[in-house]
């Protein structure tokens, strides 16, 4: 033992101090003890400096504070990407979140029929709604759309071949690659056509005795332009049916309402795909649908029955909270006239640019005094839908932009706020896109901003 080490107090000595009692009261004895031990061990390693007990207790208190703070916290999403996968995709309507919280707190009719007193089916909470909204014979739901693709292929194509156009062998991000999912599902991918052109005859030539189904993948997050050709869903379904095979479409971000009626680009709707001849369609719950994470599958009753009979369904099923939230969001879709005001995702996506501009101007007035040495301005920009829905920037929006030196440090100071503010750096400025900042959140935004480190940096020329 060195002399400096002997100056460190024991854990017991620290625990006897009044400040330690406060920590025990707040965080519990076990966690406080562990934090004090960690702190002492750290100081023992660092022999240069051994601080007095109050400093050790303060450091342990900081560590406890960090450990007990929720790591998944709300942020202000000013990235300009509405359905931002890393920021949780669609914001739920408060009533949908409340419906989820209620069944998570209490015993519920998750799989129970109060009429008969017998076991019920958990999917029944959304089945009829999905049938009504898409015109499908039947429906089932799983953990997410990746799980939906996995379940469909594993059920219908285990050990068999699935021809897919080379132009549709996509990667969604976060390691979802169509060929990999197919392999893990036990299906054998048969690549058809070329990257830019696939013809009906390519599919016809690919069909053999081991073919299980024909799969079409919606070109969600990219576009192939120029000299291109693809097989329409109608044509693909006709080829599949002529060979006695089902036709499956992975729609990715299917919408249950026609987005074009709100001035957004048209996204394919599951009902239209069914009408075009697809036998099964899968899509996400938390993309354009604006609900919780889920994979929705609609289509022929016999095929849905087969999916439900696969033991994997149990492993991929939806939990009660998300099921309640999804049912709420689906019911909102029964009234398309009021959907925009009730569904936050749709409201944010269809927000008029003039309204966003007004928010940006109010925000600029709040931000400008905090940055005396930086140029703060309101600027036109383009927001993105996100989540792979139409990859191009296309929604006219307005941002508060902040110019000056060391933008990464500036962005970091916004992220360090109690409720982190996430913007993006481009063209020598930090952009705070106001599309997802609703008017009634401005006050909270201003309050949150009070601890913002005054951004200095050299004056803008
Ligand atoms: C987003 C997407 C998926 C994956 O959906 P998750 O809900 O993220 O699992 C699969 N296929 C397509 C075409 C997609 O756009």
Using CB atoms within 10 A of its CB, is residue 4 exposed (0-12), middle (13-18) or buried (19+)? middle
For residues 377 and 416, membership in a common domain is answered with yes
Evaluate if residue 342 carries a pLDDT over 90. Answer: yes
For residues 337 and 351, membership in a common domain is answered with no
What local confidence, expressed as pLDDT, does residue 459 receive? 43
Q: What are the angstrom distances between the C-alpha of 127 and each of 46, 140, 176, 307, 450?
A: 62, 7, 27, 14, 48
For residues 208 and 106, membership in a common domain is answered with yes
| Radius of gyration of the CA atoms of the chain, in A | 27
For residues 248 and 319, membership in a common domain is answered with yes
Evaluate if residue 197 carries a pLDDT over 60. Answer: yes
- The answer to the question of residue 458 being in a domain is no
For residues 334 and 201, membership in a common domain is answered with yes
- Bigger pLDDT: 178 vs 419: 419
Q: Would you say the CB of residue 404 lies under 6 angstroms from ligand 1?
A: no
Mean pLDDT of 163-172: 85
Q: Would you say the CB of residue 146 lies under 6 angstroms from ligand 1?
A: yes
Which residue lies with its CA nearest to atom 14 of ligand 1? 252
- The answer to the question of residue 233 being in a domain is yes
Evaluate if residue 4 carries a pLDDT over 50. Answer: no
What's the CA-to-centroid distance between 253 and ligand 1, angstroms? 7
- The answer to the question of residue 274 being in a domain is yes
- Bigger pLDDT: 267 vs 18: 18
Report the 10 Å Cβ neighbour count for 408: 8
Could you read off the pLDDT of 265-285 as tens digits, one per residue?
888 899 999 999 999 999 999
Place of tokens 């939906």: 148
Q: Would you say the CB of residue 89 lies under 6 angstroms from ligand 1?
A: no
pLDDT-derived band at 232 (thresholds 50, 70, 90) equals: very high
Least confident stretch, 122-126, 209-213, 262-266: 262-266
For residues 143 and 277, membership in a common domain is answered with yes
Mean pLDDT of 183-206: 92
- The answer to the question of residue 136 being in a domain is yes
For residues 446 and 366, membership in a common domain is answered with yes
Q: What are the angstrom distances between the C-alpha of 160 and each of 144, 207, 209, 250, 306?
A: 24, 11, 9, 18, 16
Q: Would you say the CB of residue 32 lies under 6 angstroms from ligand 1?
A: no
What is the spatial distance between Cα 391 and Cα 386, in angstroms, rounded to a whole number?
Answer: 7
33: left (phi over 0), alpha (psi -120 to 50) or beta: alpha
For residues 297 and 203, membership in a common domain is answered with yes
Least confident stretch, 155-169, 173-187, 367-381: 173-187
Q: Which of 308, 342, 376 is the last residue of a domain?
A: 342
What's the CA-to-centroid distance between 145 and ligand 1, angstroms? 5
Owning domain of residue 375: 76-85+347-451
Evaluate if residue 1 carries a pLDDT over 70. Answer: no
- The answer to the question of residue 239 being in a domain is yes
- The answer to the question of residue 459 being in a domain is no
Domain count, the chain: 3
What local confidence, expressed as pLDDT, does residue 452 receive? 86
pLDDT-derived band at 219 (thresholds 50, 70, 90) equals: confident
For residues 186 and 302, membership in a common domain is answered with yes
Any bridge partners for residue 380, and if so which? 398
What local confidence, expressed as pLDDT, does residue 194 receive? 85
Q: Would you say the CB of residue 253 lies under 6 angstroms from ligand 1?
A: yes
Evaluate if residue 220 carries a pLDDT over 70. Answer: no
What local confidence, expressed as pLDDT, does residue 195 receive? 80
Average pLDDT taken over every residue of the chain: 92
What local confidence, expressed as pLDDT, does residue 73 receive? 95
The CATH code of the domain that includes 358 is 3.90.1150.180
For residues 111 and 158, membership in a common domain is answered with yes
What local confidence, expressed as pLDDT, does residue 339 receive? 97
Tell me, rounded to whole angstroms, the distance of Cα 453 from its chain centroid. 30
Give the residue, out of 145, 175, 253, with the most ligand 1 atoms within 8 A of its beta carbon, to mutate for a pocket test. Answer: 145
The CATH code of the domain that includes 102 is 3.40.640.10
Evaluate if residue 5 carries a pLDDT over 50. Answer: no
- The answer to the question of residue 137 being in a domain is yes
Mean pLDDT of 5-34: 92
pLDDT-derived band at 455 (thresholds 50, 70, 90) equals: low
Closest atom of ligand 1 to 218 CA is 13
Mean pLDDT of 299-304: 98
- The answer to the question of residue 456 being in a domain is no
What local confidence, expressed as pLDDT, does residue 460 receive? 44
Mean pLDDT of 449-455: 78
pLDDT-derived band at 164 (thresholds 50, 70, 90) equals: very high
Mean pLDDT of 101-123: 96
For residues 279 and 220, membership in a common domain is answered with yes
What is the spatial distance between Cα 455 and Cα 102, in angstroms, rounded to a whole number?
Answer: 43
Q: Which of 325, 342, 359 is the last residue of a domain?
A: 342
For residues 153 and 275, membership in a common domain is answered with yes
Report the b/e string of 209-245 with b at 16+ CB within 10 A. eebbbbbbbbbbbeeeeeeeebbebeebbbbbeeeeb
pLDDT-derived band at 301 (thresholds 50, 70, 90) equals: very high
What local confidence, expressed as pLDDT, does residue 87 receive? 97
Could you read off the pLDDT of 28-78 as tens digits, one per residue?
999 999 999 999 999 988 877 788 999 999 999 999 999 999 999 999 999
């Amino acid at each position: 033992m060195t002399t400096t080490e002997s100056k460190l107090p024991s854990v017991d000595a620290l625990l006897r101090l009044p400040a330690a009692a406060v920590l025990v009261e707040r965080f519990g004895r076990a966690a406080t003890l562990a934090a004090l031990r960690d702190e002492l061990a750290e100081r023992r390693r660092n022999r240069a400096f051994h601080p007095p007990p109050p400093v050790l207790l303060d450091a342990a208190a900081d560590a406890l504070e960090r450990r007990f703070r929720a790591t998944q916290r709300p942020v202000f999403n000013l990235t300009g990407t509405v359905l931002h996968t890393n920021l949780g995709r669609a914001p739920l309507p408060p009533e949908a979140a409340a419906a989820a919280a209620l069944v998570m707190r209490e015993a519920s009719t998750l799989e129970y029929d109060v009429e008969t007193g017998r076991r019920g089916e958990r999917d029944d909470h959304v089945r009829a709604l999905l049938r009504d909204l898409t015109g499908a014979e039947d429906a089932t739901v799983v953990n997410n759309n990746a799980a939906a693709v996995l379940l469909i292929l594993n059920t219908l194509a285990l050990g068999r071949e699935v021809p897919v156009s080379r132009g549709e062998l996509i990667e969604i991000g976060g390691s979802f690659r169509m060929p990999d999912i197919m392999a893990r599902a036990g299906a054998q991918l048969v690549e058809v056509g070329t990257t830019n052109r696939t013809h009906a005859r390519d599919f016809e030539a690919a069909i053999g005795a081991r073919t299980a189904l024909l799969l079409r993948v919606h070109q969600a997050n990219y576009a192939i332009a120029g000299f291109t050709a693809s097989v329409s869903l109608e044509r693909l379904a006709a080829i599949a049916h002529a060979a006695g095979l089902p036709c499956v479409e992975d729609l990715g971000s299917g919408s249950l309402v026609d987005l074009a009626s709100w001035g957004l680009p048209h996204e394919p709707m599951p009902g239209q795909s069914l009408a075009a001849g697809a036998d099964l369609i899968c899509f996400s719950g938390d993309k354009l649908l604006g609900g919780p994470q889920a994979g929705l599958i609609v289509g022929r009753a016999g095929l849905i029955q087969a999916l439900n009979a696969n033991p994997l369904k149990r492993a991929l099923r939806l939990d009660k909270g998300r099921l309640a939230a999804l049912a709420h969001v689906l019911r909102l879709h029964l009234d398309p006239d009021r959907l925009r005001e009730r569904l936050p995702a749709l409201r944010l996506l269809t927000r008029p640019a003039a309204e966003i501009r007004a928010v940006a101007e109010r925000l600029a007035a709040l931000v400008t005094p905090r940055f005396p040495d930086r140029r703060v301005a309101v600027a036109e920009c383009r927001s993105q839908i996100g989540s792979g829905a139409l990859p191009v920037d296309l929604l006219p929006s307005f941002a508060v932009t902040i110019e000056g030196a060391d933008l990464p440090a500036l962005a970091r100071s916004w992220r360090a706020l109690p409720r982190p503010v996430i913007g993006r750096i481009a063209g020598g400025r930090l952009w705070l896109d106001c599309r997802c900042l609703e008017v009634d959140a401005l006050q909270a935004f201003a309050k949150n901003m009070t601890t913002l480190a005054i951004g200095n940096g050299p004056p803008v020329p």
